[in-house]
Amino acid sequence: MSREEKQNEYKYLGNINSPADVKSLDESEILPLCDEIRDFLVKRVSENGGHLASNLGAVELSVAIHRNFDCPRDHVIFDVGHQSYIHKILTGRYKDFDSLRKNGGMSGFTKRSESEYDCFGAGHSSTSLSAGLGFAEADKLSGSDVYTVVVLGDGSYTGGMIHEALNNCRRDLKLIIILNENEMSISKNIGRFAKNLAKIRKKSGYFNAKRVTGKVVRKIPLLGKPLFSLMRRVKKYMKNALYGSNYFENLGLYYLGPADGNNYEDVDALIKEAKKAGESVIIHVKTKKGKGYEPAETNPGDYHGIRPASSPASDTSFSAEFGKALCEMAQSDEKICAITAAMSSGTGLDGFAHGYPDRFFDVGIAEEHAVTFASGLSANGYKPVCAIYSTFLQRSYDQIIHDAALQGLPMVLAIDRAGLNAADGATHHGIFDVAFLSQIPGVEIYAPVTYGGLRASLKKALDGDVVSAVRYPSGSQQQILKDTFYPNEDYENIRVRTDSYGKSDVLIVTHGRIASECLKAKKNLEVSGISAKVVLCEYIRPYTRLAIEIGNVIKETSPRAVLFVEEEIKAGGFGMMLSEQLRINGGLDGVKYHIAAPSDSFVIQTRKEHIYKSAGVDADSLASIAKELLK
């Protein structure tokens, strides 16, 4: 189907170029529009990849938001942002949707530089309410009457930042917090009484009667205000006695709901009431992940994030192999525990959770807590393994320093999705962990590139007495790396490995999966008559030991130039730390060297086939750098 045919595929959706077009629709046209959006999402995301289940559940909610608020004047902030596809579609980006998560295309999350309708960027969880509170306070200071709308899921609610922000919310702000519950209950509103109350609250007559009664009572001479206050206390006492207290109301916030978030009329009614309130409001809606698409409704986890249709499926991955290896090691060592921050499937720990439920801990979206919790386990004699994506490990930096490394408490940080990651963009690149871990005394860092190397690194880390990080990429192992550096399945020693013997003009020193680009660069150089050797570091830190091993390789090969290559940030990273230690040892005397790494900026969003090129560390770029060094 051509681009023009795709644009004309839908009666209503094809004519939406801004929120004004959404507002202009008749009420009878809203549900057909929602149906078209779901159909569009299923087709496009299945074809191009992205987050599907969460967006299917947020269709009516997103439409109601843009029908009731004046964006971009009013601020709409989505937590994480992976459920903002409908928001993007309704704010003039429908015709560009096929570029989602592609090189130079739309981000899979909200992004300030992409659209004026994305007032705050996202990618990580639990940041929305703190940001929204900042917007609302700024508007109050400037005398503005605009609304700030924060949309967050119950998963994000497990993150500590949400509660820190709630603790600072004031009633006198035009802040509307929409809590989208789609998996777990977070309030005690259960049973027939709660359901009937929620049903009553959805009707505008209830709110009107409530406001009128309050005004009449407060106008009674002398007794009005005390009587109104007494009525509110009695009402709260009766409600709490019948079905439990409400966390949000206990914080002093006006609470509306729960309501069926997939019923447009219900959501619309609550938003209208929230706007009338003139104060900070919590709207609690319950939605169904994958709504309207049976496979996603049945297995929302499988349809949370899906691959493009053209992506080849893999039988296994580093995450899966990590999970298998940890299960095997836990079978013979009852002290091994596994910890994840709401990512048991993503980190390959579902098998461990099933096989060793007493030693498996999912702490929710709370990476800081995960590391300090692991520190407590370690201090009391256990062997904790924290499996966390590199991009999310950033959140626990203080805890790694203060609660683990400073106290000499051994643990394993299993760092998944290390390095540059395609499609998800700048918020999800794993490019900072090497640099920030390299600054912490005593931390050891392993960088396996094969499944065998992963198992060997994990075993060594578990046997250690320090904080050990085992970092590995997304996806599966590359056969070229296995064939080149592990011809005999030699995984016993974690060490420096070379792809060949003898002297060379250029020595390329690297770690991780980017070694495959280094091998391609070597071939490019050889075509130009330049001999090269690739050195793969299976571990990174301690740099003192690594520098001795690399120094020995330099002596043996007598290169005219050394090229350090990494796919993480340059500042404080692998190349900078290793080259400095080599210079101290005299290992680089009389040898030119260069550090090839992504520039010290956030790498642009891109697809896998372009990722190294966009960062300037692809094979052609590396070969060009090496040639310049030899001039």
Q: Look at the chain and report how many structural domains it folds into.
A: 3
Q: How much is the pTM? A: 0.84
- Cα–Cα dist 163/197, whole Å: 26
Same domain membership, residue 170 and residue 25:
yes
Is 151 within a domain? yes
Residue 540 in any domain: the answer is yes
Selecting among 88, 395, 471, 541, the annotated active-site residue is 395
374 domain residue, yes or no: yes
Same domain, 448 and 428: yes
Catalytic residue among 38, 93, 101, 289: 289
Domain range for 121: 3-187+246-306
207 found inside a domain: no
Task: Give residue 324's Cα distance to chain centre.
Answer: 24
181, 367, 538, 567: which is the annotated catalytic residue? 367
- Does 523 share its domain with 429? no
- Judgement on whether residues 446 and 373 belong to the same structural domain of the protein: yes
- Tokens 């309050």 belong to 214
In a domain, 223, yes or no: no
pLDDT, residue 169, reads 93
Give the model's pLDDT for residue 206: 53
Examine the residue annotation and report whether 367 is marked as an active-site residue of this protein: yes
Amino acid type, 46:
S
Please report which residue ranges of 142-283 form alpha helices under DSSP H.
160-166, 191-201, 204-218, 224-243, 247-250, 264-277
Q: Is residue 27 included in any domain, yes or no?
A: yes
Same domain? For 264 and 409 the reply is: no
Instruction: Indicate the helix (H) or strand (E) that contains 540.
Output: strand 539-541
Token pair, residue 321, equals: 């192999």
CATH of the domain at 33: 3.40.50.970
Q: Give the pLDDT of residue 198.
A: 46
Does residue 59 share a domain with residue 39? yes
pLDDT at 217: 60
pLDDT for position 187: 31
- Cα 216 to Cα 81, 129, 223, 224: the distances in Å are 44, 35, 12, 8
Are 300 and 357 in a shared domain? no
Whether residues 83 and 16 share a domain: the answer is: yes
Same domain, yes or no: 129 and 164: yes
- Ranges of residues in the chain whose predicted pLDDT is under 70: 1-8, 183-219, 222-225, 227-245, 309-313, 600-601, 603-609
Neighbour tally for 457: CB within 10 Å: 28
Residue 197: the pLDDT is 38
Instruction: Starting at the earlier edge strand, list the strands of the sheet with 496-498.
Output: 496-498, 532-537, 506-510, 561-565, 592-596
Q: Is residue 326 part of a domain?
A: yes
CATH code at position 510 = 3.40.50.920
Q: Are residues 156 and 45 in the same domain?
A: yes
**φ, ψ dihedrals at 97, nearest 5°:** -65, -30
Q: Which of 270, 285, 306 is the C-terminal boundary of a domain?
A: 306
528, 402: one domain: no
Does the residue 226 lie in any domain? no
Is residue 395 annotated as a catalytic residue, yes or no?
yes
Claim to verify: residue 459 and residue 542 sit in the same structural domain = no
